[in-house]
Structures are given as structure tokens and as C-alpha cells.
Structure 1
């Protein structure tokens, strides 16, 4: 019986081929302990792997893990279908319940954690993404990836039509006022109308809409177990949460200024 011994070049070529096939099937490669050691930490390796280590099981009570996973998956999917896709960079994830020994070997006691594993060496401190400083939105993850690998990822985020709802409501309210009053000049110079518009703008910015436009968070929590309206982390908020805050602020303004009405 003759055993064929593969050269390092053959092993590397096979690893790259398998990772490429996995990426084509599913942009975010799911790794267990065996796969992680083979593809990410063992040599030979001439490619980079961005890995998110997380804990998605509900019993782990990681409030932000599912949201971080969705944002990270958006980056991986956008990369997969972009012109930047190559055989030199791959995106993967490790779940605690499928590879707890990996967390122990990396001395991790929290999740989620984003790590860049460069080719031919172990990750340094600069290869860890600081989610407390950057947050974990897809935009911030893509920016971090670009800083490390020079790969610019154009995010393909599904359109969020709910962001146009406030504009539609404001326009509708203005048309209703014009229709009811039918006295345009008086309305234009009315301090009450301008007061309402001013309060509306103030409530718009207080509620966090500017943050939403910059970071583009999801409308609600994307967890499969529940549809949360309020984020569990101080560095995150949902669009629905800002609507609730805005409505609450407007209610307070109206109740404290009954003389307007």
C-alpha cells in the first residue's frame, strides 16, 4: 500500500479551495473546533480570516450577540457578492456552544469578539476589534476590515422604508392643516404652527434619528426568539426605540404646554 504525502503547497491549495467553496455556499463560514484549528490556526496559510466569536443560544443570555451576528453576516454577504471578493480573505464565526475550547484557548470570557487572523502569524492586539469604541454595526465592521486588509466593502443593506414614515406623517399633517383651515397666510405666520414644527424637529434629534442615519441600525431586534424594541447595550439602539422616545417626548411637551392648544 502506497501512501501519498501531500506537500505544503498541496495542503494550502486544498484549504483555500475548500474555504472558497464554503464561502460560495454561505458567505459566513461556521466553524467548530476542528475546522477552526485546521483553517484558522494551523499552517500553511496564506490568507486572512476574520472571525466573530459569539454565543447565540438564548440560555447564554447574550443580549447583543444576535444583533452583532446579523450585522457581521451583512458584511460577509456584501463581501461575497462584491468585486473585492478573493481567495485571500474569508469571514467566519465560532459559537461558544460548538467550540468552547476555542474561547478558552484565546482566553475569552465575553462575547461577541471580532478577531483578525493574519496569514502566517497569530493575531496581535491590533487585530482585535474594540466594539466598545467602534460599536458593532456593519458600517463599523466594514471600516475595521478596510483598515486591516485594505479591502473596501460596499454594504448591501436591505432598504428600510420605515425611515420615510416621519416625513410622510409631517407632509400629511401639513396638508391636513391647509385643508382644514384654508387660510394659508394665517397659517404661515402662525406662532403655534412654527412652535409645533420647532418642537417636532427638537424631538426628532433628541430621539436619536441622527445616530440612526449614521449607523443604520435595524428597526427592531433581529433575534429569532423575540422582537425586542429596546437594545440591551448602551452602545446600540433600534429605530423603533427612537420612535417611542420621540412620541414620549412629544407627549411631555404637549402636556406641559396646553396653552398652545
Structure 2
């Protein structure tokens, strides 16, 4: 009969042997760790991974896999002449960059592209007839109908893609666009040309030393910034939203984190009108005009303030409800 200490060691060994991880489980964990590490390495270097058929088979279709993959199936070669493909790829790049450089970046979802000229067999297997289709491959199971996103029908903006990705993966991505200074550079160049021509013609530049000129410039800058136009200039927002089913136009974005360009124009106009109304009221109180004219100025200023400040409240009320 074995001593009690020796018997305890044998029982403990058998317990570890039967309940411990098997070689198959350890191999599966090692393979999964290798795949996740490879995807993270590629995603760190390039936010959008360019896949071929072999990579797709090994990293997307084969198990084990605990991450989701969003793939744009496209045709980017010049001979294909697919302008829409390039636009969709650019928007995917914006979304992937926003995810890659966010503070919440994890290995829950990766973004990739597959070109029809590099992986035609994959297109045939998936029965893809369009070269601009987004597919989401979930971490478990096969893609469903909701995992397909057709940008030609639903739009291809990064913000729209982010909403779809959030629905499919529960990963919320705040889209951040790089500033586009092309229009600003053109405006500066245009103003420089005008000033140069005016200087050559001997025009007087005394207006540069007048307080009213700089006051108007400062006021215009404040109105531009408070309207949100610079924010939309950076994000590349659309002018208005047109419902593809009803054709109804929406000028006010139904949310507090975004706005349309038309909305910024409405807000800017209301702010400008309220400002003019206040200026008119101040002028009516301090000017040396006749009483009747000052009274009319006072009524005009009050009307502008009440009417357009009410318009601002209406815009904010619409956004607050959503």
C-alpha cells in the first residue's frame, strides 16, 4: 500500500493530466495568437490590409479566429476605370485610420481590401457581381445578409460605414478626417493676387488702418467659427441629406455630433442677423438721429433679434430631440 503522501501526488498528477489543456488546444491557441499578431502587425503599418486569396483563406475563412474583418472587394487597377472604387477605398482608409489611431484601438476588428484582379477566385466563391462591396466576416459563424454593405445603395462615406460597423461588431469608431487646405490655399492666393493688382494700380490702402474694417473681419471670423463651417470643412460633410426612398431633403442633421453644410449656413445666417440686430439697437440708442428714425431702428433691431434667435432655438431643439 502506497504512503498517503505518494498517493496524493499520484492523484494530483492524474487530475492535472485529465483536466489540463490538451496538445490540440495548445496548438489552437498558438495558431490564434500567431494570426492575431500577424494582423496587428499589418494593421499597425497599414490601417487597411491588402489581402490576396491565400491570406483570405488563412486569416479570414480558417479557424480559429476571434476577430472580425471588414473587407472591401474592389477593382482599383487603372484599366478598370472604376472611379467609384477609388472613392469607396478612400473612405475605407479614413475609417480605418480613425480606428487605428483612436485610443480604443483593439484587435476586435480589422479592415482590408481585395482586388478582383488579384483574387478572382474569391470573388467567384462568394458570388460577388459588384466590384464595390463591403463584407463583414464575424469572429464566429458565417456572414449573414446584414453583413453585406453595398455603397452604391447605402452610400460610401466613412460615417455611414462606421454606423454599419457598429451594428455588426459593437465597435464604435469616431471618424476623424484630415484637414483639407486646398480651398484655403486658393482663397489666400486669390486675395494675394487682388492685393498685388491693387498695389500696382496705386490704389489707396488706408482702409487697412480703419477700426471698422478689422471689426468686420473679426466679426466675420467669429460667425464662421460659431456656425461650424470650419468643422465641416475638415470632416468633408455633405451639403444636405436626400432620402433615397422618398427624395425628401433634410437640411438639419438629426444629431448633436454632426451637421450638414446647409445647416452651418442657416446657423451662420441666424447668428449674423442677431448680431446686426444688436448693432442696430446700440446705434439707435447712441446716435444723434431724429427720434422717429431711432424708433424705426429700434423696432428693426428687436425684430431681427427675436426672429432669428428663435430660428437658432428651433435648430437646436430639432437636434436635441434626437
Aligned to 1:159: 179
Q: Which has the larger radius of gyration?
A: 2
Cα RMSD (Å) of the superposition?
3.0
Closer, same or farther: CA 111–215 of 1 in aligned 2, 3 Å: farther
- Counterpart Cα distance in 2 of 1:61 and 1:90: 27
8 A Cα contact 2:177 2:236, kept in partner = no
**3-state SS of 1:94 partner:** strand
How many equivalent pairs are there?
A: 180
- Counterpart Cα distance in 2 of 1:117 and 1:76: 16
- Counterpart Cα distance in 2 of 1:163 and 1:139: 22
- Counterpart Cα distance in 1 of 2:105 and 2:54: 25
* Larger helix proportion of the pair: 2
TM-score, structure 1 normalization: 0.61
Closer, same or farther: CA 215–38 of 1 in aligned 2, 3 Å: farther
Runs of 4+ in 1 over 3 A off after TM superposition: 161-169, 212-216
Aligned to 1:24: 44
Unaligned runs of 5+ in 1: 181-208, 217-261
Asked whether 1:214 is paired with 2:237, we answer: yes
- Counterpart Cα distance in 1 of 2:150 and 2:114: 18
8 A Cα contact 1:137 1:215, kept in partner = no
8 A Cα contact 2:70 2:136, kept in partner = yes
Unaligned runs of 5+ in 2: 1-22, 205-231, 240-322
Closer, same or farther: CA 85–110 of 1 in aligned 2, 3 Å: same
1:215 shift after superposition: 3.4
1:164 shift after superposition: 5.9
8 A Cα contact 1:20 1:87, kept in partner = yes
Counting only pairs closer than 5 Å after superposition, residues 1-261 of structure 1 correspond to structure 2 as 7-162=27-182, 214-215=237-238
8 A Cα contact 1:48 1:89, kept in partner = yes
- Counterpart Cα distance in 2 of 1:137 and 1:164: 23
